[in-house]
Chain A
């Protein structure tokens, strides 16, 4: 801990993390209550844990508490989402009704039923219960408690940015400006700030994933120590009980640990393997144990699917070839031999790139399309700079191919884990399932790509760094203006 203050790298990481917190905190105030995707469901989970000490997911209870439902109604929630001219309470009349509604006593503990997020493990929601109860003890109403949990998300977003800086500093040692640029590009990516300003378990998963990438990069560069083994294990363990999607990057991390352990002297291997495995597995075991005995909540909780009798239409069931085809075209241009399962020749552009530019609220407002065109131009320049950095540094990259293989397997694993439910959802409903936030466990790699572009600029690195951070800052400021226009103008 002391080295964070005494080394320049540590202080720079702290500064980047602080920027991440401030940006997400600003977003948490700019976004109206409950306008982040699934925020009512995430908040309901926090509320249930805070008020009853049990996770959400009971079949006998309503999904949302009476208090939260009343607040949603007074906030004009249903007329706002998906309605371009839908707004919250603007007028004095509606504002008075809102204040009256949240000021009245209603039960906060009669929710907890099954929802789309109730199958998720409880780590984020347990953490969220702390600010929730603190705001409650201070006499805060339901909107104050929501804001308190949003502040926790902002802290986690900052933590992710902090670890991303440290990861890049290990991966590309030498130029702090490049690492800071990568971390700040993440902090000012508007979808990161938007999510960091809302109540969502993705924030803990992103922080855990960033810590895991940092641990692995440091161990590959300096060798696996006891402390690093414990840290990597803790990041895996924390991530696994934050959101189920995290499981996608675990195989790659395990591969990394195996490679690192194989590089150790024989006598050290077992001890450090146990040091990593312990914290990786214990949180999951505790969760599964509590779920099976006290909570009636576990990894098999089917969520809303149980209530809705969810399943795919007869004759349109998922197939293995369909899964592979869907996975391929979700991320790459569709090969000619693959069935067209997603509209558009390059589905990844529509699914991921346009969302990277910005798809805010309940996915109901975006930038004008010319902004996406301009973003393509920016990315072409970035890709060219990354290409130059790769060519110049190919010898160094070649020496680190084992580490790069590990990151590639982590990417592969996450994409497979996302594509599986996405394929089934699309078969069931015809609609897209994917959201950019599902890729947030890979934010560290996004930051590294940006840092690599700064490296690729050679002696113009500082100028390119300023341009990249400037574009990211402009991107987030205009996204905030767009958000203000969407809800308040």
Chain B
């Protein structure tokens, strides 16, 4: 192989490896499970002293924060609390704190250690002004829409720390084992590196 070709090959491979390392090292807040719906529009108001509730099929284990999109009608902040109940008892709650308009997190105490099925999620407005909650509007204007809630794990995790979970989730999402995603990714990278080396060698047999 010509030196210049080998140099290009080395740069390309190093670039791919560096990119993957950067992604694996990146720390950011991570989802604990699926959000309910996309926050497409503000679907209703919670009056001062009022509460809005919805029942979700499940809240994933590992959830430490509940994210919602709120609007405060120009007020600097809204005082809101949240409560999650299942089978008649409170499983987690977020005490009343000031939340600014936009995307906001309710820090849940205690964090959910395992999946909880059929959870009633309520947000209470403990401030003096009304608050709008975002979600998916109902097709029937007489019915309320579905609020958008997203479940996050505590703190931030790196991509590398997530790899075993990712493999497990991919298996769960297709009713199969967790090794398939890893195998597929290895196959993709293997095909890529093999093709690259083959071209670098002049497509020789």
Contact = CB atoms under 8 A, between A and B. Distances in A.
Contact of B31 (A30, A87, A89, A187): A87
Contacts of B181: 29-30, 484, 488
A260 interface: no
B144 to A, nearest CB: 17
B100 interface: no
A462 B5 contact: yes
A30 B188 contact: yes
B128 interface: no
A188 interface: yes
B15 A474 contact: yes
Nearest to A482: B23
Given A76-B34, A86-B35, A30 B185 contact: yes
Interface residues of A, number: 66
Interface in B148-205: 150, 159, 162, 165-166, 169-176, 180-181, 183-185, 187-196, 198-200, 202-203, 205
B190 to A, nearest CB: 8
A188 B38 CA distance: 32
Give the interface size bracket for B toward A.
35 or more
A98 B19 contact: no
20 contacts: A12-B203, A19-B191, A22-B188, A30-B185, A82-B38, A83-B38, A85-B38, A94-B115, A143-B175, A180-B198, A181-B199, A462-B5, A463-B8, A466-B12, A470-B11, A471-B12, A473-B12, A481-B20, A481-B23, A484-B170
Given A85-B31, A480-B185, 18 more contacts: A22-B191, A30-B185, A30-B188, A32-B174, A75-B173, A84-B38, A86-B37, A90-B60, A94-B115, A102-B175, A143-B174, A177-B203, A463-B5, A469-B195, A470-B11, A474-B15, A480-B188, A489-B166
Interface of A: 8, 11-12, 15, 19, 22-23, 25-30, 32-33, 75-76, 79-80, 82-95, 98-99, 102, 141, 143, 147, 176-177, 180-181, 184, 187-188, 460, 462-463, 465-467, 469-471, 473-474, 476-478, 480-481, 484, 487-489
Interface of B: 2, 4-5, 8-9, 11-13, 15-16, 19-20, 23, 30-31, 33-38, 58, 60-61, 67, 115, 117, 150, 159, 162, 165-166, 169-176, 180-181, 183-185, 187-196, 198-200, 202-203, 205
